[in-house]
Copies of this chain bind each other. A is one copy, B any other.
Amino acid sequence: MRDECERVDSKQLGNLLQNIPDSESITRMAAVFQALQSETRLKMLFLLRQKEMCVCEFEQVLSVTQSAISHGLRILRQLDLVRVRREGKFTIYYIADEHVRTLIEMCLEHVEEKHEL
């Protein structure tokens, strides 16, 4: 922290600060984005966007170990980005809700919009 510069209006800044999400929401959002920051987990979600899948299907498609897949799915599950259902000896994963689809599609549009490097 430093002395205020001439642009600073402390009162206004106080208001702005009050209008951001509370600290718990920020923490959770950070966790969600952090889950989405892994290429492996992103691929999982783009696969799940097309069809629900079991762990061994992921295994055939992604070039990481079954352990890595399970760990990744757990993180997505904990944040309610994907959900699970048992079917006999299989564990079927699927996208939790439309927010998740919108989230990844919004981001895809954003990065595809600029082809320039």
Chain A contacts to B: CB under 8 angstroms: 1-2, 4-5, 7-8, 10, 12-13, 16-17, 19-21, 25-34, 36-39, 42-43, 46-47, 50-51, 54, 56-57, 59-61, 63, 66, 80, 90, 97, 99-100, 102-104, 106-114
Please name the 10 residue pairs, one residue from A and one from B, whose CB atoms are nearest each other, closest first: A34-B37, A5-B56, A20-B46, A28-B111, A33-B36, A33-B37, A99-B110, A30-B39, A29-B107, A33-B33
Of listed A21, A50, A111, residue having the most chain B CB within 10 A? A111
**Bound-state Cα–Cα, A112 to B112, Å:** 29
Question: What secondary structure prevails in chain A residues at the interface with B?
Answer: helix
